[in-house]
C-alpha cells in the first residue's frame, strides 16, 4: 500500500537514509516500516514489525514503564533494522524479499543502555553486529542469520592474595 509522506508526518518516530539511493528513506510509523521517496513524496508499506513495542513495559527496573520507546533505524540496502533504543527488541527486514528477522537482547539494564546495532561489509558478505547480552556483541551473516562469533564464555579462577611491600 502506498501513502503520501505528508499523511505520516505527525506519526513518524524514526527515519534513516538509504546507503545506496539518494532521496530514498526508511520511515518507522505506527509499528509499520515504510520506504519513502523524497522526489515523489510517496511512502510504500514494507513490513509490520510486531516485536517492536510502542511503549516500555516491564523492562529494567521499571523506570521507563508506560513511556514511549525511542526507535532507531539503520539502512544498508537491502536491509533495514528498527531498534528499541532502550528496549529489548529489534527487527531486520530485507526490503527485496520481505523477510523479517526478529532480534532481542537480555533485559539486564536495558533501560539505561542503548541497544547496540550496526551493519558492516566484509568481502562480499553483509554482516550485522548486535548486542545479545549486557556486555556482549555478536556478528551475524545478514542473509542467513548465522552467528559468526559463536564462542564459549569462560572465566579463569584466580586466587586473591595479599602483597606486602617492604619499605627500606
C-alpha cell at 78: 537491502
| Residue 86 within any structural domain of the chain | yes
> For the chain, what's the residue count?
168
Q: Is the dihedral of CA 81, 15, 19, 47 positive or negative?
A: positive
| Residue 18 within any structural domain of the chain | yes
| Residue 56 within any structural domain of the chain | yes
| Residue 137 within any structural domain of the chain | yes
DSSP state of 70: P
Total number of domains constituting the chain: 1
pLDDT in tens, the chain (168 residues): 999 999 998 999 999 999 999 999 999 999 999 999 999 999 999 999 999 998 888 887 778 888 899 999 999 999 999 999 998 999 999 999 999 999 998 888 888 888 999 999 999 999 999 998 878 899 999 999 999 997 765 555 656 555 556 766
| Residue 164 within any structural domain of the chain | no
| Residue 120 within any structural domain of the chain | yes
117 alpha-carbon distance from chain centroid: 5
In the chain, the DSSP E strands lie at: 2-4, 12-17, 24-29, 32-37, 42-48, 71-76, 79-84, 89-94, 100-104, 117-122, 125-133, 136-141
| Residue 151 within any structural domain of the chain | no
In this structure, are residues 66 and 55 in contact, taking their beta carbons and an 8 Å threshold? Answer: yes
SS3 7: helix
Burial of 55 (0-12, 13-18, 19+ CB in 10 A): exposed
Note the pTM of the prediction, 2 decimals. Answer: 0.85
Residue ranges making up the domain that contains 68: 2-141
Amino acid at each position: 500500500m502506498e501513502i503520501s509522506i505528508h499523511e505520516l508526518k505527525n506519526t513518524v518516530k524514526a527515519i534513516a537514509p538509504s546507503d545506496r539511493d539518494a532521496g530514498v528513506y526508511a520511515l518507522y510509523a505506527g509499528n509499520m516500516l515504510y520506504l519513502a521517496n523524497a522526489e515523489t513524496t510517496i511512502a510504500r508499506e514494507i513490513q509490520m514489525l510486531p516485536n517492536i513495542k510502542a511503549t516500555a513495559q516491564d523492562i529494567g527496573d521499571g523506570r521507563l514503564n508506560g513511556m514511549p520507546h525511542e526507535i532507531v533505524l539503520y539502512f544498508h540496502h537491502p536491509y533495514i533494522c528498527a531498534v528499541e533504543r532502550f528496549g529489548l527488541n529489534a527487527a531486520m527486514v530485507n526490503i527485496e524479499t520481505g523477510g523479517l528477522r526478529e532480534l532481542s537482547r537480555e533485559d539486564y539494564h536495558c533501560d539505561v543502555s542503548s541497544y547496540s546495532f550496526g551493519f558492516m561489509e566484509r568481502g562480499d558478505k553483509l554482516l550485522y553486529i548486535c548486542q545479545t547480552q549486557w556486555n556482549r556483541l555478536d556478528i551475524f551473516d545478514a542473509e542467513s542469520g548465522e552467528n559468526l562469533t559463536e564462542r564459549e564464555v569462560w572465566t579463569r579462577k584466580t586466587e586473591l592474595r595479599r602483597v606486602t611491600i617492604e619499605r627500606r
